[in-house]
Amino acid sequence: MIFLKTATALLLFAYPLLVYFGLSHIDFRWIAAILVVLLAIRGLLLPSRYKKRVFALITVGIIIAALVFILQDAFYLRLYPVLMSGIFFCIFTYSLYRPPNVIETFARLYEFKDNAMPPHVIVYTRQVTKIWCGFFVLNAMISVYSLFQSLEFWTLYNGFISYCLMGALFAGEFAYRYCVVKKRGGNNR
């Protein structure tokens, strides 16, 4: 089970590279079908409490596959990163209006498992969630731009640069939290 979860996650992570290399070796409709299968497997392996996310994942695959099959155009395979950024934006934004927000949920799972979360940490997680919302909007916009560029540019941005930007945002927030926020929080308790 762990192997299957990891394998599907890695394949979905590498989706832009799979599209880039797959288009020169197999029929683009097979790539669409493989995407639906991967998303369905990934969705089925998620815990039942994530039913909405499962539905969103599978829906993305079905939309892309339907466009590919109906319009007979490999271009629509390139929509996946745009749609995923849109879904993440919706999930993060929704969590701002239906607490706990996404970042607060992670903090409760990993840092405040056995302790009460101080109010200033909840405010901080809300701000970080807003930053991630902005990131997903920007990422979606650049992904839309990349749709109309060469396949190489699309692959480079969506298969490498966007992941580097996500990693930089995560690392920057992590460093800020541990170098600045924890010091201030420790003095307030």
Q: Tens of pLDDT along the chain (189 residues)?
A: 788 888 988 998 999 999 999 998 999 999 999 988 888 888 888 777 777 777 787 888 899 999 999 999 999 999 999 999 999 999 999 999 999 999 999 888 888 888 888 898 899 999 999 999 999 999 999 999 999 999 999 999 999 999 999 999 999 998 888 887 666 655 444
Measured distance CA(61)–CA(88) in Å, rounded: 15
Domain ranges in the chain are: 2-188
Separation of CA 46 from chain center: 15
Please report the DSSP string for 72-101 in residue order. T-GGGGGGHHHHHHHHHHHHHHHHHHSSSP
Whether residue 16 has a cis bond before it, omega within 30° of 0: no
- Rg of the chain over CA atoms, in angstroms? 19
Q: What pLDDT shows up at residue 152? A: 97
pLDDT for res 85: 96
